[in-house]
Amino acid sequence: MPSPEIDALTQALSRLPGLGPRSARRAVLHLLKKRETALEPLLRALEAVNERLVTCGICGNVDTVDPCGICADPRRDARALCVVEDVPDLWALDKSRLFPGRFHVLGGRLSALEGVRPEDLGIDTLVARVEAGGIDEVVLAMNATLEGQTTAHYLAERLERFPIRLTQLAHGVPVGGELDYLDEGTLAQALRARRPVA
């Protein structure tokens, strides 16, 4: 039977996404076995992040500096702004290195069922950023869910008065995807977004 401290660590890890009780127990055992090479560096990294973690005052990203590394990067195109639902979406798009501009994190998506209203999200700060000028294009990179598309539609209405190019991510058949494995919604979107063969 593990001590209360080890049990508490296992329970804390089991609450992380993707880790259940068994995976957390294996992770704890690994950390205990490799104390010098795994546990101690993990503790130092967690303490450093905990002490310095901030939310970027410009885009809503989480980082250890404010403004975040993306907003402070002079190589980024300040005229292009990509709007995402949450920080993991920003990190996924940034990791691809395909979008040269800056980002804006809403902090969620509109959802009547969950009681998330426009004032609960970073929509007003987005509108203020666009209103301040210097932005030519806003990319709405919402998830392809009903709530994501509702949010994108609402944002399009709020931003239509500005002289910007408003775009959204394409939806449809993924690269390497097989048609017989795709759901009807994905197939319908792919058919609606069809384009001429080059």
Q: For all residues of the chain together, what is the average pLDDT?
A: 91
**Total count of domains within the chain:** 2
151 vs 10: CA distance, rounded Å: 37
Does 195 reside within a domain? no
Q: Indicate whether 73 and 48 sit together in one domain.
A: no
Q: Indicate whether 17 and 113 sit together in one domain.
A: no
CATH number for position 93: 3.40.1360.10
Predicted confidence at residue 159, as pLDDT, reads 96
Cβ atoms within 10 Å, residue 65: 11
pLDDT surpasses 80 at 16: yes
CATH number for position 46: 1.10.8
Predicted confidence at residue 145, as pLDDT, reads 86
Does 65 reside within a domain? yes
Torsion of CA 44, 65, 139, 129, to 10 degrees: 150
pLDDT surpasses 70 at 12: yes
With cut-offs at 50, 70 and 90, classify the pLDDT of residue 175: confident
Does 86 reside within a domain? yes
Average pLDDT over residues 173-192: 78
Q: Indicate whether 65 and 47 sit together in one domain.
A: no
Q: Indicate whether 100 and 138 sit together in one domain.
A: yes
Q: Indicate whether 74 and 155 sit together in one domain.
A: yes
At what angle are helices 123-131 and 146-159 packed, to 10 degrees?
30
Does 90 reside within a domain? yes
pLDDT surpasses 80 at 195: no
With cut-offs at 50, 70 and 90, classify the pLDDT of residue 144: confident
Q: Indicate whether 35 and 105 sit together in one domain.
A: no
Residue pair 48/65 in contact (Cβ under 8 Å)? The answer is: no
Predicted confidence at residue 25, as pLDDT, reads 94
Average pLDDT over residues 75-84: 96
149 is written with which tokens?
A: 């598309």
Q: Across the strands, what pairs with 82?
A: 103, 139
Does 45 reside within a domain? yes
Q: Indicate whether 45 and 140 sit together in one domain.
A: no
Average pLDDT over residues 54-78: 96
2 vs 124: which has the higher pLDDT: 124
Q: Indicate whether 24 and 71 sit together in one domain.
A: no
67 vs 102: CA distance, rounded Å: 12
Cβ atoms within 10 Å, residue 15: 10
Domain that holds residue 44: 7-52
For 154-162, which contacts have Cβ atoms below 8 Å and span 24 or more sequence positions? 154/110, 154/118, 154/123, 155/83, 155/123, 155/126, 158/123, 158/126, 158/127, 159/126, 159/127, 159/130, 162/130, 162/131
Q: Indicate whether 48 and 63 sit together in one domain.
A: no
Q: Indicate whether 131 and 97 sit together in one domain.
A: yes
196 vs 110: which has the higher pLDDT: 110
pLDDT surpasses 70 at 198: no
Q: Indicate whether 46 and 63 sit together in one domain.
A: no
Does 175 reside within a domain? no
pLDDT surpasses 70 at 120: yes
115 vs 113: CA distance, rounded Å: 6
